[in-house]
Amino acid sequence: MLKIGLTGGIGSGKSEVSRRLSARGAVVIDADKIAREVVEPGTPGLARVAAVFGEEVLRPDGSLDREKLGSIVFADSDRLAALNAIVHPLVGERVAELQRRAADDTVLVYDVPLLVENNLAPMYDVVIVVDAADDVRIKRLADHRGMPESDARARIAAQAGRERRLAAADIVIPNEGSMEDLDARVAEVWDDLLRRAARG
């Protein structure tokens, strides 16, 4: 089993790469998606969040009000640590379960936005960084998400800088060109990963 850490700054196109690797046969584990799943209505995770943060973080339908919770935890590092203490172990259990289910010859891709920021590179056999210049990313965030430039710049500034991210990379996928360019680079990378997996 080859464990890949896939990362890239906001607006770099990491999700596009993740989809393409999945289409080629990789098993993709999306940490953000799992973090949402473990606090869905009816889960022990959501019950624990409500017990710690109060019923006001729940919407009328019983689901988590992410914006409300975010406004609480991002202004208070202790509250953020309390939330992480609930969510991270649950995500870890789910990831371990998905990993156990995967076949031995699987190329397992972990989609981890904050891989570099949290110093997680040593956990993976190969780290892939999807890279694009800041101005390209700002334009994408405006075009695809309707994000104001000031917000896009703030999000980018809150993440690891480009140099630090590239320094952690075993493989870089540049993503400033066309979708065809991206397809071609992902095809090369996939062949490389299969060779690495075969070597064991």
Q: Which of 78, 104, 130 is the last residue of a domain?
A: 104
Contact by Cβ (8 Å): 7, 134: no
Question: Rounded distance, CA 62 to CA 59, Å?
Answer: 5
Residue with tokens 């959501």: 46
Return the CATH number at 19. Answer: 3.40.50.300
pTM value? 0.80
Tokens of 151: 């917000």
Q: In this predicted model, what pLDDT tens digit does every residue of 131-164 receive, in sequence order?
A: 999 999 999 999 988 888 988 888 888 888 999 9
* Count: domains in the chain: 2
Q: Tell me which residue range forms the domain holding 55.
A: 34-104
Q: Answer yes or no: do 143 and 55 share one domain.
A: no
> In the chain, what's the furthest Cα-to-Cα distance?
53
β strands within the chain, DSSP E: 2-7, 27-30, 107-111, 126-131, 171-174
Q: Are residues 97 and 116 in the same domain?
A: no
Q: Which of 70, 89, 104 is the last residue of a domain?
A: 104
End-of-domain residue from the set 87, 104, 121: 104
What span, in angstroms and rounded, lies between the C-alpha atoms of 147 and 142? 5
pLDDT digits (tens, 9 = 90+) for 32-86: 899 999 999 999 999 999 999 999 999 999 999 998 998 888 778 899 899 989 9
